[in-house]
């Protein structure tokens, strides 16, 4: 018989840098799972993506075992990485703080495609372009 999921937890943790200390420990500690085991497995699974912030969805079972699924980095994080900026505009679309090219937009859309509810890269590009616009990042041809 399949194990029953008792809890699902979503976190955003820097790749390869999970530790039992807060914020990971404070969220997962009450769930009763082995924090050191989670951190070791997560760090091993994400060591090739060092420097990125990765969302992770953790399923905790009634016997205190767990599984986790690593998602693609958040769209704003990728846009800031490609535009080489520390943060987006404070005034949203009314203020331009950086620009990215169509090719960079397509790269971001291809990275995000598995986690977006888009059927093709063009639809994903429109979604990413909207996020960029709201961050004050202009997309140029």
pLDDT value at position 1? Answer: 53
Please say if the pLDDT value at position 92 is more than 80: no
CATH for 75-140, among 1.10.10.250, 3.40.50.2000, 1.10.510.10, 3.40.50.720?
1.10.10.250
pTM of the model: 0.74
Q: Is 3.30.1550.10 the CATH number for 5-70?
A: yes
pLDDT value at position 98? Answer: 82
Please say if the pLDDT value at position 93 is more than 80: no
Q: Which residues contact 70 (CB under 8 A, 6 or more apart)?
A: 42, 45, 46, 54, 55, 56
Task: For 2-16, write each residue's pLDDT tens digit.
Answer: 678 788 888 888 888
What order do you get walking across the sheet with 53-61 strand by strand?
Answer: 5-14, 53-61, 66-70
pLDDT value at position 118? Answer: 80
CATH 3.30.1550.10-classified regions of the chain: 5-70
Q: Are 52 and 15 in contact (CB under 8 A)?
A: yes
pLDDT value at position 33? Answer: 84
Q: Are 60 and 5 in contact (CB under 8 A)?
A: yes
CATH 1.10.10.250-classified regions of the chain: 75-140
């Amino acid at each position: 018989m399949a194990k029953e999921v008792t809890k699902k937890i979503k976190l955003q943790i820097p790749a390869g840098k999970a530790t039992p200390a807060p914020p990971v420990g404070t969220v997962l500690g009450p769930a009763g799972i082995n924090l050191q085991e989670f951190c070791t497995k997560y760090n091993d699974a994400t060591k090739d993506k060092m420097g990125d912030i990765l969302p992770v969805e953790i399923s905790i079972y009634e016997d205190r075992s767990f599984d986790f699924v690593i998602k693609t980095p958040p769209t704003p994080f990728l846009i800031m990485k490609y535009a080489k900026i520390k943060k987006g505009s404070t005034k949203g679309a009314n203020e331009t703080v950086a620009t990215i090219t169509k090719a960079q937009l397509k790269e971001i859309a291809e990275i995000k495609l598995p986690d977006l509810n888009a059927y093709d890269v063009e639809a994903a590009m429109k979604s990413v372009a909207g996020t960029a616009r709201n961050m004050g990042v202009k997309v140029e041809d």
